[in-house]
Amino acid sequence: MILPQEFKNRMKKLLGDEYAAFEASYANEIHKALRINALKAEGDILAHMPFSLTPVPWAENGYYYAACDAPGKHPYHDAGLYYIQEPSAMAPAEYLDAAPGDKILDLCAAPGGKSTQIAAKMKGMGILIANEIHPVRAKILSENIERMGVCNAIVTNEAPQRLAEFFRGYFDKILVDAPCSGEGMFRKHDAASGEWSMDNINLCARRQDEILACAADMLRPGGRLVYSTCTFAPEENEGSVSRMIRQFPEFEIVSVRKTDEMTDGIKGIIEQEAERIGHAVRLFPHRLRGEGHFLAVLQKRSGFSGSYGRCETETGIPEKSCAEWLRFSGENLKEIPKGIYCAYGDQLYLLPENAPLLRGLKAIRPGLHLGMNKKNRFEPSHALALYLKKEDACRCLDLPSEGMEITAYLSGQAIPSDGAKGWHLVTTDGYGIGWGKLSGGMMKNHYPKGLRKRLS
């Protein structure tokens, strides 16, 4: 790989005697990892994983997998049992300390790795707003949240400035994994080094300042903000944090525990650097099995008094307007999920309780998609199947993950089956993966056409 000379000169100043090891790391293998989805995985799931897994030191459920493994092709991936994620990228969400009942914003959320990591720690309780400004990437974000069985997430497609108009002082915790120059991904994406320039770094830094200003307004006093990038550029890392604290003195950098592989934020490289900038965290590829990353944890002073608008609560539609759904759930589910019903045309969604009013916002996934009304009957969504556990459904068809039937199902074929007529939750090794409707000894396949796999 050919690195830009100006980039190399700057990294030599940053790293000193470590630079040779840093440059040599570009010839090393790329480390691959997955994160087990705690919303679905139960018991000793590792014993059943058909891969060679070793722990990622800084991520609770993160594991490296071997180069010979192909987890993206296994049915467990389709069932949302794990998310394939770059190892260093697992660090920021860990430092957010998400917990059940929190109100959390992932401001730059696509493709969804960090959002689904946060959601797993929330255990379906609280409100997670996952936002992405680019429509195509927002759709990918929504699909990943669906695959991982997240029920309490609202996916929005808005500019940060627009969200700030609605949510002043609303969130307990905010993650800003900011768009950046991507220097930390040079090893993964060769083309990125060819596009490198100081002009782009300065452009990214200005954009980061704007995003952080919006995040500062949306965090409640006493709240926690994690800022992260996948670049080495001080202007976008220590610089962005320092500029934010100068603009918003009610924020301070929090001291956090670092693993042995991590290093402190680098002092003395940015003019007017923030006090305690050394508490920030850097991940360098020559020191660990992962790519380059930066993060800093900030807290908004509890005594800070700001003027905050009141965020109204969504009321949704009454249960009497959901007759088809209630009939379906009464016949097919052992317990009806709780929340706020919202209708968008013939589509029915379930928002988490106490969800904020979404009127005026582009919400492309307003909570859990339950399904749609079709001529006085209800058809359940794929999202609902991925959310449910086998014990939630009245009838299940389990297909072993290593068998031929699950391959046939994922390709869209009907499956011969005995049992009661009607809807069945299709599972693989007990994990929900889709729907089937049994009639006349054949399970009609309701796996979405856009997700079906070609038989080799």
CA-nearest of 57, 22, 107 to 292 is 22
For residue 307, the model assigns a pLDDT of 52
For residue 376, the model assigns a pLDDT of 84
Rounded Cα gap, residues 92 and 282, in angstroms: 11
Average pLDDT over residues 305-334: 87
Tell how far CA 401 is from the center of its chain.
25
For residue 194, the model assigns a pLDDT of 83
Q: Name the pLDDT band for 256 (thresholds 50, 70, 90).
A: very high
Rounded Cα gap, residues 116 and 137, in angstroms: 15
Question: Residues 182, 33, 277, 96: what is their CA dihedral angle, to the nearest 10 degrees?
Answer: 110
Check pLDDT > 60 for residue 231: yes
Half-sphere exposure in the Cβ direction for 75 (13 Å, CA): 25
Rounded Cα gap, residues 94 and 410, in angstroms: 33
Q: Tell me the whole-structure pTM to 2 decimals.
A: 0.96
For residue 305, the model assigns a pLDDT of 61
What is the torsional sign of CA 108, 111, 113, 118? positive
Choose between 309 and 159: higher pLDDT. 159
Task: Look at residue 379 and give its three-state secondary structure.
Answer: strand
Above pLDDT 70, what percent of the chain? 98
Check pLDDT > 70 for residue 78: yes
CA-nearest of 243, 246, 225 to 299 is 225
Q: Which residue matches tokens 């991590």?
A: 262
Average pLDDT over residues 351-359: 95
Rounded Cα gap, residues 202 and 233, in angstroms: 10
Which residues lie closer than 8 Å to 131 by C-beta, 6 or more apart? Answer: 105, 106, 107, 108, 109, 138, 155, 156, 157, 158, 160, 163
Run of H or E including 191: helix 190-194
17-68 pLDDT, tens digit each: 999 999 999 999 999 999 999 999 877 888 889 999 999 999 999 999 999 9
Q: Name the pLDDT band for 455 (thresholds 50, 70, 90).
A: confident
Q: Which residue matches tokens 């782009």?
A: 200
Mean pLDDT, the chain, whole residue set: 95
Rounded Cα gap, residues 439 and 442, in angstroms: 6
81-95 pLDDT, tens digit each: 999 999 999 999 999
Peptide bond preceding 111: is omega within 30 degrees of 0, i.e. cis?
Answer: yes
Above pLDDT 90, what percent of the chain? 92
Tell how far CA 4 is from the center of its chain.
32
Rounded Cα gap, residues 297 and 280, in angstroms: 7
For residue 304, the model assigns a pLDDT of 63
Asked if residues 324 and 281 have their Cβ atoms less than 8 Å apart, the reply is no
**Across the beta sheet with 53-55, what order do the strands follow?**
53-55, 62-65, 33-36, 82-84
Rounded Cα gap, residues 345 and 371, in angstroms: 11
Choose between 188 and 314: higher pLDDT. 314
CA-nearest of 121, 177, 162, 114 to 141 is 114
**Across the beta sheet with 377-380, what order do the strands follow?**
340-344, 347-351, 368-374, 377-380
Q: Name the pLDDT band for 187 (thresholds 50, 70, 90).
A: confident
For residue 329, the model assigns a pLDDT of 97
Pairing of strands 347-351, 368-374: antiparallel
Rounded Cα gap, residues 242 and 253, in angstroms: 9
387-422 pLDDT, tens digit each: 999 999 999 999 999 999 999 999 999 999 998 999
- What are 209's two structure tokens? 């300042």
For residue 306, the model assigns a pLDDT of 58
Q: Which of 108, 214, 230, 396 is catalytic?
A: 230
Choose between 312 and 369: higher pLDDT. 369
CA-nearest of 158, 62, 33, 165 to 108 is 158
> Would you call 214 a catalytic residue per the annotation?
no
Q: Name the pLDDT band for 282 (thresholds 50, 70, 90).
A: very high
For residue 189, the model assigns a pLDDT of 80
For residue 310, the model assigns a pLDDT of 57
